[in-house]
């Protein structure tokens, strides 16, 4: 079963929605990097765009956490590399927040 053909208006609406989601995710990453928001606030958000971010991408947006450290955190907490924010369980969220607050 293939993707149903979209009308021009449907395609434009989908592109607009995707662009807005990318902008929102980028704004959240910048806010995390600059310390304007916290990881707990982001995880508590009910935004669809944020819920579709990978946990790895979210971790890499934090100050002093790069690709290597984010990978090590995911391995240590037994979180899949491809896990999205919405896919985190309650215990995974708790361990993630505890792990990052204890390191600082």
* 61-85 residue pLDDT tens: 999 899 999 999 999 999 999 999 9
Q: What is the pTM of this model?
A: 0.82
Cβ burial 12-49 (10 Å sphere, 16+ → b, else e): eeeeeeeeebeebbeebbeebeeeeeebeebbeeeeeb
Where exactly are the structural domains of the chain? 12-103
- Cα distance between residue 12 and residue 43, in whole Å: 30
pLDDT at residue number 103: 60
Q: What is the CATH number of domain 12-103?
A: 1.10.8.50
Quick: pLDDT tens for 33-49.
999 999 999 999 999 99
| Rounded mean pLDDT, 77-101 | 93
């Amino acid at each position: 079963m293939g993707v149903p053909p979209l009308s021009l208006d449907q395609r434009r609406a989908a592109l607009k929605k995707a662009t807005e989601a990318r902008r929102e995710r980028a704004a959240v990453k910048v806010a995390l990097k600059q310390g304007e928001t916290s990881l707990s606030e982001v995880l508590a958000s009910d935004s669809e765009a944020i819920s579709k971010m990978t946990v790895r991408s979210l971790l890499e947006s934090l100050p002093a956490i790069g690709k290597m450290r984010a990978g090590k955190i995911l391995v240590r907490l037994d979180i899949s590399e491809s896990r999205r924010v919405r896919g985190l369980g309650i215990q995974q969220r708790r361990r993630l927040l505890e792990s990052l607050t204890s390191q600082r």
